[in-house]
């Protein structure tokens, strides 16, 4: 036990199932397989009126793919509040009945250490898990904790936490890349999403994805993992691109950029990054494997101060929405693509509709037209700049009057507006 050789280190895709009845659990297992899962995590603690032998036999007899049995107690963040001895007996029963994986908490596994080692030829793989409220609250060294989990004789070890900031996640990646036994390690919540999406790059044993109708804000869907992110294609050489924003879950960027990477055969992945502090973020995510970033609300203006160089157009607009890490020296170069991309798209649409300003005119079809702008933030600033530079009359709407006033003063300063 505890050796890498017994496993293929490719990352499995697992669907966590929390149905409240055995019948629904069987239905959800079949759905998970249909959606592309390699394994399912069956949470026994969610099943109401659970009957250990009867219900386990139904689940395992009807499993369409490998099953991981989890019976999580309240003291470890689960739903079970009953007798602890009965809970452990149920997990042992699942092993006897042929479950593919059985999860024991570190506290329990330490007490059962000898028994786990003695029974490791049963065919079931033993997962020893530890849940940490936050990385910041972890007093002992992570490496020491992982070593303690390994001494239980586990086939697989599992570490789950709630990070308070995205800058804590590289500690998880460091563990994944260096652990000598199969390791499941990730953070829950929206800030921890990239710990799932980048798991395969750093050698994680398993990544979680939810089935349709069972979404979780901090968990990618099975469809997203397989279709949008194509995690099976991710490897140690994959370059990482991220959207820096707060919040970030609404973004459609991954649905646009990841297929584009595949279309041009580029080994890259585009992921959402919930960032709370720009300075901390760039001090931690500074390596060459983080090759570039998109910038969303509310950072398009503030992020200029973290770029080593800024393109003249972005400098003029005073907003950056795209950053590239220059390969030859690692410097961050800021650009603004909001302006030209949006304005030229509008111009092309007007030309197609015949809304031009004269048959042989070389001026923009926006010239003299009323350009109504909803929002005066970083993207709004870029659009206002582009529209005014084409001769449009700009009308600005924003719920924040001061923000609108700042944009007007900015246009005046550039000589694009007179008051």
Structure tokens at 314: 């972005």
Identify whether the C-beta of residue 356 lies closer than 8 Å to the C-beta of residue 350: yes
Residue 355's pLDDT is what?
Answer: 72
In a structure prediction context, what are the per-residue pLDDT tens digits for the chain, which is 419 residues long? 333 333 345 899 999 999 999 999 999 999 999 999 999 999 999 999 999 999 999 999 999 999 999 999 999 999 999 999 999 999 999 999 999 999 999 999 888 765 655 455 568 999 999 998 766 656 557 888 888 898 888 999 999 998 889 999 999 999 999 888 999 999 988 899 999 999 999 999 999 999 998 877 778 999 999 999 999 999 999 999 999 999 888 888 999 999 999 999 999 999 999 999 999 999 999 999 999 999 998 999 999 999 999 999 999 888 899 999 999 999 999 999 988 888 999 999 998 887 765 544 568 899 989 999 888 887 888 898 889 888 899 888 888 888 888 888 878 877 777 66
Provide long-range contacts, Cβ within 8 A and 24+ apart, for 359-365. 363/390, 363/391, 364/390, 364/391, 364/392
**Residues 6+ away with beta carbon under 8 Å from 159:** 129, 130, 132, 142, 145, 146, 149, 172, 175, 183, 184, 185
Neighbours of 171 (CB within 10 A): 19
Element (H, E) at 102: strand 101-105
DSSP H helices, 151-207, are 169-178, 193-197
Structure tokens at 26: 């069987």
Rounded Cα gap, residues 285 and 279, in angstroms? 10
Residue 270's pLDDT is what?
Answer: 97
Element (H, E) at 274: strand 268-274
Rounded Cα gap, residues 291 and 219, in angstroms? 24
CB hemisphere CA count around 292 (13 angstroms) = 15
Q: Which residues are catalytic?
A: 300
């Amino acid at each position: 036990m505890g050796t890498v050789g017994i496993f293929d280190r490719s990352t499995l895709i697992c669907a966590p199932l929390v149905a409240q009845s055995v019948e629904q659990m069987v239905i959800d297992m079949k759905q998970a397989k249909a959606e592309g899962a390699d394994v399912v995590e069956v949470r026994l603690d969610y099943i109401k009126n659970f009957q250990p032998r009867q219900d386990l036999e139904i689940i395992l007899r009807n499993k369409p793919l490998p099953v991981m049995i989890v019976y999580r107690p309240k003291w470890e963040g689960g739903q079970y509040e009953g007798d602890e001895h009965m809970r452990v007996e149920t997990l042992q029963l699942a092993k006897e009945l042929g479950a593919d994986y059985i999860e024991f908490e570190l506290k329990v596994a330490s007490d059962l250490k000898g028994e786990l080692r003695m029974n490791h030829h049963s065919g079931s793989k033993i997962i020893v898990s530890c849940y940490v409220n936050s990385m910041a609250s972890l007093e002992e060294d992570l490496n020491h904790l992982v070593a303690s989990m390994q001494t239980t004789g586990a086939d697989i070890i599992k570490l789950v936490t709630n990070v308070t900031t995205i800058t804590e996640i590289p500690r998880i990646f460091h563990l994944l890349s260096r652990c000598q036994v199969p390791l499941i390690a990730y953070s829950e919540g929206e800030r921890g999403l990239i710990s799932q999406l980048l798991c395969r790059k750093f050698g994680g044993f398993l990544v979680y994805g939810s089935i349709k109708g069972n979404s979780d804000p901090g968990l990618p869907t099975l469809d997203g993992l397989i279709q949008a992110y194509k995690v099976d294609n991710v490897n140690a050489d994959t370059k990482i691109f991220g959207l820096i924003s707060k919040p970030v879950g609404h973004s459609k960027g991954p649905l646009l950029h990841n297929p584009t990477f595949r279309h041009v055969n580029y080994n890259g992945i585009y992921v959402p990054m919930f960032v709370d502090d720009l300075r901390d973020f760039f001090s931690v995510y500074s390596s060459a494997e983080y090759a570039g970033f998109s910038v969303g609300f509310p950072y398009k203006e503030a992020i200029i101060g973290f770029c080593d160089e800024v393109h003249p157009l972005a400098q003029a607009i005073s907003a950056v929405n795209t950053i590239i890490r220059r390969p030859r020296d690692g410097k961050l170069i800021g650009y603004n693509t909001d302006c030209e991309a949006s304005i030229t798209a509008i111009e092309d649409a007007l030309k197609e509709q015949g809304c031009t300003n004269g048959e042989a005119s070389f001026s923009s079809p926006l010239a003299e037209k009323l350009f109504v702008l909803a929002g005066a933030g970083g993207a709004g600033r870029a659009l206002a700049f582009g529209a005014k530079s084409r001769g449009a009359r700009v009308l600005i709407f924003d719920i924040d009057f001061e923000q609108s006033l700042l944009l007007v003063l900015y246009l005046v300063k550039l000589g694009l507006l007179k008051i």
